Amino acid sequence: MFLNGTMIGSRLALFATGLTLVYGIMLIINFAHGEFYMLSAFAVFFFVEKLGLNYFVSLVLAMIVVGLVAIAAERIFFKPMRGQHIPSFIMSCGLAFMFQVVAVLAFGIKDKSIDTVFPGVITILGASVSVERLMVSLISAILIVGFYIFLLRSRSGRAMRAVMQNPEAAALQGVSINQVCSLGMGIGAALAAAAGGLLAPIFIFNPWIGPALTWEGFIVVCLGGKTSLPGTLLAAFILGYIKSFVTTLVDPVAALMCGAAILGIILTLRPQGLLGHE
């Protein structure tokens, strides 16, 4: 149960960090984020099952592919909407629809899954834990850490942080806003794609898993503070644990209700989230 929470938390963390990144840099709401996750799961499926590639290679390929798709989407569809919440949200809904249809046309409407990559069960502290889930949590953690290192150390990372804090000042310093936005979108999508690919062997997926996940992502983003990346991490794990516990102790629907209720309460009582600032 605890590990499940960790795993869910880390998946959410990957997913939601991407969402926060997109929002923070471009001030747009991307409802299609869940679709990036979904497309990646299908991409990994395609690479592994149809092309016979190694899982890890497929994962990386999927991240790249989805990232590129996202950058294209940003350039074509989101560019004029930067900073406008509602129009960008509606636009992203349109995109979500389109991605869903693409997935349906390419892969059909049936559920799919991928074979477990890390079979077996090990025992930790008296509880039996599937190696798969453990590895997912680990790899997620590695990716998140890697992302943070990128954000803090690399030049592009610093550029992104600058734009998140003050776009005009960043532009004056010579940062190309367009490049940063595209990069941000690409990386954000890649993170979601990573989550999708990592969880493909564990959960069944179909073209419509996007929206439910996107709403969860929004809950995490709002809970943590919309522009705060550490907040997103914290919130992701809090939500992951709560969901895991409530699902086991009560039932899955109650877990969803908890999530929705948390969103409502946070927004009305403390709109800046846990770690945000307003």
Partner 1 sequence: MNKNSWIKWVGLAAVVITLFLIPVFIKSPYWMGVFTLMGVYIIVAESFRYIVTTGEYSFAHVPVMGMGGYASALLAMKLGLSFWLALPLAVLATAIISILIYYPCLRTTGTFFFFASFAFGEVMRLCWVRFTNPFGGVGGLRDIPRPDAIDIPGLPTVEFTLLSHTSYYYLILVFMLFSLLVMYLLEGSRLGAIADAIKESKVLASFVGIRVWRYEMIIFVIASAFATLGGSLYAHYMTLLVPNEFYWGLGIYVCVWAVVGGTGHFAGPIVGTIVFGLIRELLRPFPQLVPLIYGLILAATLAFLPQGLISLPERISPWIKKGLAKIKER
| Residue carrying the six token digits 């969860």 | 216
In whole angstroms, the minimum distance from the beta carbon of 244 to partner 1 comes to 18
With CB under 8 A as the contact rule, the residue among 1, 75, 138, 251 that binds partner 1 is 251
Interstrand relation of 121-124 and 127-130 (parallel, antiparallel or unpaired): antiparallel
Range 60-89, binding partner 1 (CB under 8 A) = 77, 80-81, 85-87, 89
Range 258-277, binding partner 1 (CB under 8 A) = 260-264, 267-268, 271
Residues 6 or more apart whose CB falls under 8 angstroms from that of 101 comprise none
With CB under 8 A as the contact rule, the residue among 64, 90, 177, 275 that binds partner 1 is 90
Task: Look up residue 53 and give its amino acid.
Answer: L
Using CB under 8 A, count the residues that bind partner 1. 40
Element (H, E) at 122: strand 121-124
Which window, 93-101, 167-175, 186-194, 228-236, contacts partner 1 (CB under 8 A)?
Answer: 93-101
CB 132 within 8 A of CB 1: no
Which window, 112-120, 136-144, 235-243, 248-256, contacts partner 1 (CB under 8 A)?
Answer: 248-256
With CB under 8 A as the contact rule, the residue among 177, 256, 274, 275 that binds partner 1 is 256
Nearer to partner 1, 12 or 159 (CB): 12
Range 165-194, binding partner 1 (CB under 8 A) = none
Max CA separation in the chain (angstroms): 58
Question: What is the DSSP secondary structure assignment for residue 130, as one 8-state letter?
Answer: E
Range 198-217, binding partner 1 (CB under 8 A) = 211, 215
Comparing C-alpha atoms, which of 140, 120, 27, 11 is closest to residue 78? 27
- Tokens representing 255 are 């877990």
In whole angstroms, the minimum distance from the beta carbon of 41 to partner 1 comes to 18
Kindly state whether residue 95 participates in binding partner 1, applying the rule CB under 8 A: yes
Kindly state whether residue 222 participates in binding partner 1, applying the rule CB under 8 A: yes
What secondary structure does DSSP assign to 44-111, as a single string? HHIIIIIS---HHHHHHHHHHHHHHHHHHHIIIIIGGGTT-HHHHHHHHHHHHHHHHHHHHHHH-SS-
> In the complex, which residues of this chain contact partner 1 (CB under 8 A)?
29, 77, 80-81, 85-87, 89-91, 93-98, 100-102, 104-105, 109, 211, 215, 218-219, 222, 251, 253-254, 256-257, 260-264, 267-268, 271
